[in-house]
Every structure is written in structure tokens, then in C-alpha cells.
Amino acid sequence: MIAILHRDDAVLILDKPVGLAVHAGPRGGASLEDHLEALRFGKRHRPQPAHRLDADTAGCLVLGRTKPALAALGRLFATPGAVTKTYWAVVRGAPPDATGVIDAPLLKHSTAREGWRMVVDAKGQAAATAWRVLGRGPGTAWLELTPRTGRTHQLRVHCAHLGCPIQGDERYGGGPGPLHLLARAIRLPLDPAIAATAPVPAHMRKALAACGCAEAG
């Protein structure tokens, strides 16, 4: 069973495991959809995700338990800056400063040989990510990332653009997985406000401990 970080009559927040896709892909395989029936908890309909996380990203995932709740959550996630998302990442190398903002537009690029990927391109959609260094390890750094927009692979591409790709992000220069990216916390400005924090997943503990994270020790 997937761990539940928050549950009320309208909203579920799950601790999504690394490697679990939110939606079933054309090739099949495990996805969150396999667990939705067990997450009904007496509701008439299955809960539905209000946003997306990459399969390789662990942590906070919000679901609406009713159609009105899902619609309200959809409006929140569609409003820039309404939902506060905080991510933790372990990156290769380190940024030049302690804090900063990456403001780099992203464009989807496809080739027959390599498939698709997101690239920094002036023709792309605006994308911005605030970051700060929480700790440093041997050849690595522990970053807190706060996306100000919600583009596909935004954090992964922005970290690579900063010169320090996320560890385990083979597509964008971080070497073989698993991906060291955690949707650490989320805050929903509902009435009352809802907040949840995901624990450090097992595959990130060693790298975070090396960067001085007490929770991972």
C-alpha cells in the first residue's frame, strides 16, 4: 500500500514511490492506477491525480477524492504560484552560489534516433526555478528547488543547465539511476490550508547523509 501523507473528505496526498508512473503508459507496466480502487476509502468514485510527477520522482502527489474537489485542485495547479511545491535533489557538482533563480525557457525537442527531451530554447515556454544549497558532499550538493512554473522535466533540465545535473538522471547528464529527486513538500491554499511533507526515500539516504542531511543519517 502506498503511504498516505494527508487524508480528508476531499483530498489525498500520497508519498509516491520512485519508479511508479502516475498514469499507465502504452506499453503497460505498474502505475498509480493499479492502486486507486484501494484508495477509495468508501467514496463513490476512485480518487484522481490533480497533477503529475515523473515516474522516477518520489514524494508528494495530490489526488482529488470527489469531482468538485478535483476541479478545485485543477484550478489551483493551473494558477501560477498558487500551490507551493518544494523539492529536494542531490546533484553532481555544485552551483557557483548559495542561492539563485534559473530563468530558462523550455522546448520539447524530438529526433528519430534519441526520441524526445526538453531543451533550453528561447522559443520555448517560460520556466523559472528558485534554488538554494542545503548541504555539500564529495562531488555533490543537496539542493532545495522551488519551481515557479510547472513545465515537463523542468527541474531536471534546469539543474543540468546550471551545470549540476541531478544524480541518476541519465537523460540529462546525471549518470545512471535511480533519480535523486524528491517532491519533498507541498502546500495547498485551501480553507483550511493543507500541507504535507514526504520522508526521504531509501535510495536517496546515503547521498543526502553525505551532504549533511540529518534526516537521512
Any idea which residues carry the catalytic annotation? 54
- Does pTM surpass 0.85? yes
Q: Is 114 helix (H, G, I), strand (E, B) or coil?
A: coil
Give pLDDT, residue 28: 66
pLDDT, tens only, 19-54 = 999 988 766 678 999 999 999 999 999 999 999 899
pLDDT confidence tier of residue 113, bands split at 50, 70 and 90:
confident
- Confirm if 46 and 37 have CB atoms less than 8 A apart: yes
Phi and psi at 194, nearest 5°, equal -120, 135
Q: What is the DSSP string of 124-179?
A: SB--EEEEEEEEEETTEEEEEEEESS--TTHHHHHHHHHT-PBTT-GGGTS-SSS-
The pLDDT confidence band at residue 1, using thresholds 50, 70 and 90, is: confident
DSSP codes, 202-215? HHHHHHHHHTT-GG
Q: How many residues does the chain have?
A: 217
164 close to 157: Cβ distance less than 8 angstroms? no
Per CATH, the number for 4-216 is 3.30.2350.10
